[in-house]
Copies of this chain bind each other. A is one copy, B any other.
Amino acid sequence: MQGKNMLVVSAHAADFVWRAGGTIAAYIRGGADVHVIVLSFGVRGESNDLWKQEGQSAENVERIRTEEASEAARILGLENVEYWDFEDYPMNITRERMDRLTVRIREIRPDIVITHDRRDAFNPDHEKVSQLVSQSCVMANSAGVMLNGLQATRQMSIFGFEPHQTEISDFKPGTIIDITETFEVKRQAMECFKAQKHLIEYYSMRARMRGNHAARISGNKEYRYAECFANFFPTVGRKFV
């Protein structure tokens, strides 16, 4: 993974941890440059448990979410995390935000982009971010889109996070990444989100379940924990994987 640039675009503060934390940690260990853009803190939509506290305020929720996400990022080994602080629920996609992301894609120049998959039956924000990232990648790759004098990028691979309920979101597994070696780190990162114990349990189970699938599909019993992604495009290369 040495020499690879990966960009992860996360709708809310914890999405990159639940859905790709083990892969991020594995890429960092493997020598890749990994950048994460967190579009919102999920103050309105993904902090239900924090809002149960008497007298809770948006400022306090945002403070807690920032601390938790930063600590989780640190545990995963991330050095490049940006918080764009958009309002969530609903997430609003504007031309200005599209250009801003296009600029960052051209600056980061990723080989691999990971973000939300096209459909999420329970989360319209995720669907909008998926569209935003697709659109911005297309623009970044196009020489005629002039932005700050930045050079157009080369077509990148794009992969979609697994949504919470996969089948009703038409999620189709395209690539399963073994995270056996980084699962412990992912678990620690997940535990930063103290108000979401049930999701820690949930995504630990999914990692184990996808590990089972990885072993079954490959015949490689060493795969024990994994993360699953949709392929936006076919795989291209000189041989089968």
A interface residues, Cβ below 8 angstroms from B = 1, 26-27, 30, 42-48, 50-52, 58, 61, 89-90, 92, 95, 98, 112, 121-124, 131, 134-135, 138-139, 141-146, 152, 154-157, 159, 164-168, 171-178, 198, 201-202, 205-206, 208-209, 212-214, 216-220, 223, 226, 228-229, 231-241
Contact = CB atoms under 8 A, between A and B. Distances in A.
Contacts of A238: 26, 177-178
Contact of A219 (B155, B176, B234): B155
Contact of A165 (B143, B213, B231, B235): B213
A127 to B, nearest CB: 10
Contacts of A61: 144
B112 A240 contact: yes
A50 B241 CA distance: 31
B90 A51 contact: no
A122 B213 CA distance: 11
A94 B86 CA distance: 18
Contacts of A172: 167-168
B48 A142 contact: yes
The 5 closest A-B pairs by CB, nearest first: A154-B219, A155-B219, A51-B143, A44-B144, A173-B234
5 contacts: A47-B143, A122-B138, A156-B219, A159-B240, A175-B234
A27 to B, nearest CB: 7
